[in-house]
Amino acid sequence: MRRKIAAGNWKMNGTSAALSELDTLAQSHTHSDCTIVICPPAPLLFRACEITVATPVSIGAQDCHGEVKGAFTGDISAEMVADTGATHVIVGHSERRDAYNERNRDVRNKAEAARAAGLCAILCIGESLEDREASNTLDIIAGQLSGSVPEDITADTLVIAYEPIWAIGTGKVPTLEQIVQVHDFIRTQLCTRFGAETGASISLLYGGSVKASNAAEIFKAENVDGALVGGASLKAEDFSPIITALNAS
C-alpha cells in the first residue's frame, strides 16, 4: 500500500501572516488518510513546525544543499531543515534546475543529504515544452531518473514528483493519458533499477496546475499517488478540496 501525499509548495510567497493558513488547514483535516506536507519559505519553517505539531500537517523545505556544512552563503543544509522539525524537502524543482543551473548530480547529492538527515526528499523531474513537442519526454524522464535518483532508496526517504515544466503555473494540464504514460514509465524504470518491491513502494506525485477542479480526475490514475501543488496550496480553502479528493481516491 503506497503512501498518498498532498504536498504544497509555497515557493517565495508568504510572511508570518500566512502561517494562519496552516492553522486553518490543520483544523479542517483533524484526520487524514493521506500525508499532508506544506513547504513554506525557509524563514517560516520553525514556526510552521510549531503550529502543526500533533496535527496531520507535516512541514517541508523547498530545497537543501548537498553538502553537510561549509562556506555556502545563503544555503541551508538538510540537517538544518531537520533541526526545525521539518520532515520533508523538495529537491530538483525545475525552477531551481533552471534558475540555479542545478544538474542531475546536484539533485542526487541533495536527495542523499536529505536521507542522511532523516528527511524524505520530494524529487522533481519533468520535461520542457520543447522536449514534449519533440517527443523526447520519456528520454528526458529516463535521464533525470538515472542521474538524480540515488542508489539507496526507500518509500520513507524518497518521493518522486513528475512536473512537466510547461504545466507549472500556466493553467495547462497534460491529458490524463499523458500523465498515465509518464507515471507508468517512471514506475517501470524504478522497478527495473531497484527491484519490483522497492519500485512499487515509492509514491509518485503529479505536479503542474493542479487545483480543486481537476484533482479528482488526476487522482484516478493508478500510479498517481498524490500531487505537488504550487499556487493552489497557498490558501487553505484552495488546498483543502485537493486533500479531500486525494483521501477519496
Beta strands, E only, 93-225: 120-125, 158-162, 204-207
Residue 114 makes contact with ligand PEP by CB under 6 A: no
CA-wise closest residue to 137 among 173, 97, 178, 172: 178
C-beta of residue 161 within 8 angstroms of C-beta of residue 228: yes
34 grid coordinates: 493521506
- Clarify whether 163 is annotated catalytic: yes
Residue 174 makes contact with ligand PEP by CB under 6 A: no
Residue 207 makes contact with ligand PEP by CB under 6 A: yes
Residue 204: beta bridge partners?
A: 160
Residue 228 makes contact with ligand PEP by CB under 6 A: yes
Interacting residue with ligand PEP among 43, 118, 143, 169 (CB under 6 A): 169
Query: Which of 29, 65, 93, 183 is labelled catalytic?
Result: 93
Query: Which of 21, 95, 102, 163 is labelled catalytic?
Result: 163
Determine the Cα–Cα distance for residues 249 and 247; give it in Å rounded to an integer.
6
Determine the Cα–Cα distance for residues 147 and 106; give it in Å rounded to an integer.
9
Residue range at the interface with ligand PEP (CB under 6 A); choices 19-27, 39-47, 141-149, 161-169: 161-169
61 or 168: CB nearest ligand PEP: 168
50 or 237: CB nearest ligand PEP: 237
Residue 9 makes contact with ligand PEP by CB under 6 A: yes
42 or 229: CB nearest ligand PEP: 229
First to last CA, the chain: 13
CA-wise closest residue to 149 among 115, 109, 108, 203: 108
Residue 92 makes contact with ligand PEP by CB under 6 A: no
CA-wise closest residue to 168 among 207, 226, 122: 207
174 or 230: CB nearest ligand PEP: 230
Task: Say how far residue 4 (Cα) sits from the centre of its chain.
Answer: 12
- Clarify whether 222 is annotated catalytic: no
In the complex, least distance from residue 12 CB atom to ligand PEP, rounded to whole angstroms: 11
Footprint of ligand PEP on this chain (CB under 6 A)?
9, 163, 168-169, 207-210, 228-232
Residues recognised as catalytic: 93, 163
